[in-house]
Amino acid sequence: MNQNKIGAFISERRKAKGWTQNQLAEKLGITDKAISKWETGRSMPDLALFIPLCGLLEITLNELFAGECIPDENIKEKADEVLMEVITNWLGNDKGKLKADEVTQKNVLEVQNISKIYETEGNSVLAVNDVSFQVAQGRFVGIMGASGSGKTTLLNLIATIDKPTNGIIRIGGQNIVDIAEEDTANFRREHLGFVFQEYNLLETLTIYENIALALTVKETPKESIGQIIQNISEKLDISAVLDKFPYEVSGGQRQRCACARAIAVKPDIILADEPTGALDSHSAKQLLSVFVMLCKEYNATILMVTHDVMAASYCDRILFMQDGEIKATLNREQKNKQTFFADILKRMEWIEGESHDVFEIVNS
Ligand code: ADP
Ligand code: MG
């Protein structure tokens, strides 16, 4: 990879747009110092910025890594190599593989033709449009999509926080759409685990009490609670903070505590909405490794909403949402994390390209 060449290319494309470094920085929500570092070859853009940067500069990912416009498909492979190099540098090497027993696992979650229409002041929004998919036990599935594409709505429907306008959702075989309003809180406690960005833990209870409370609600025998908490805390590296209050621990520890609480009660499925959203990249990677471990060792099933490619690259499968629909699905299969990361980036680029048809035609 030639960082200088890439930097010069970014600079050239920025100038062609008539933007100052400051203007480009503003569009990306970063400082102009960062832009200056890229353009002089001193650093590479953060992976999370690749897609928006390419979009703004009207170049493809491969062109960004090649450091030039690519008229010819032959250079594509070379650029793919460079992309893998960058990703490996950033994510580290990963040889991790999936378990092969997928076929024998039953579906924990079945979503059939669900739609959600929000009616507001004579205005109706089709937030989820005829979505269907299944998740087998032990899988870690990600939902990606731009802001407003319906990710949270979909997750809330599955979480029984909201009711679909149409369709069927089965969790552990039970159609949750039929559950009476007053029984939903019970259903959530019995069958679901939550790891959200905020509001995860009760602030007036210690970490230990937070986990114990969830177990008590699930009618776990008193004498086994201590042992369960000790085991899971060791696994998640939070033994040392059990007696602290949530506000006394770091964001990463809080999220791992939320994981401990979620898994301790053996839910049918763990739902996570942007769980890494407020974490630094080290804590984010730690949390994602915990998710992967829970699936592998506890046969947990996780559905995670994220707009972060790095987070998504830990999943087994990604559903891409756009305008309330699932536009594409990507399976990790036997690929390592780096290759999957590259696949996700390219798929996002493709989806964004699809939505800019008019624009593409004008340019060609
Ligand atoms: P995402 O999580 O992907 O950003 P959301 O599911 O939050 O997307 O939103 C999908 C669409 O539904 C958006 O257009 C949003 O404005 C709309 N929406 C979400 N919640 C409500 C609500 N409670 N009332 C009305 N519209 C809503
Ligand atoms: Mg959301």
Q: Show the CA angle centred on residue 57, arms to residues 53 and 59, nearest 5°.
A: 95
Q: Is the pLDDT of residue 200 over 60?
A: yes
- Answer yes or no: is pLDDT of 113 > 60: yes
Give residue 273 CA to ligand 1 midpoint distance, Å.
14
pLDDT per residue over 319-338, tens digit each?
999 999 999 899 988 788 88
Range with lowest mean pLDDT among 8-22, 125-139, 205-219, 231-245: 205-219
Report the separation in Å between the CA atom of 118 and the middle of ligand 1, taken as the mean of its atom positions. 8
Mean pLDDT of the chain: 86
Nearest CA-CA partner of 46 in 264, 255, 310, 242: 310
What span, in angstroms and rounded, lies between the C-alpha atoms of 294 and 34?
Answer: 37
Alpha carbon nearest to ligand 1 atom 1, residue: 148
Those residues whose C-beta lies under 8 Å from the C-beta of residue 167, and which sit 6 or more positions away, are 111, 112, 113, 114, 115, 130, 131, 132, 177
**Degrees, nearest 5: CA angle 267-270-271:** 140
Q: Which domains does the chain have, with CATH numbers?
A: 3-91 (1.10.260.40), 101-350 (3.40.50.300)
Ligand 1 centroid distance, CA of 276 (Å): 20
State in Å: Cα 296 to ligand 2 middle: 27
CA-CA-CA-CA dihedral for 343, 346, 351, 355, to nearest 10: 180
Q: What is the pLDDT of residue 349?
A: 78
Assign 345 a pLDDT band (cuts: 50, 70, 90): confident
Structure tokens at 95: 């040889």
Residue pLDDT, tens place only, 239-273? 999 999 999 999 899 999 999 999 988 899 999 99
Gap between the Cα atoms of 82 and 87, Å rounded: 9
Residue in 115, 116, 118, 307 to alter for ligand 1 test, most ligand atoms within 8 A of Cβ: 118
Q: What is the pLDDT of residue 22?
A: 95
Looking up tokens 């114990």 gives 212
| pTM, full prediction | 0.78
Examine the pLDDT at 105 and tell me if it is beyond 60.
yes
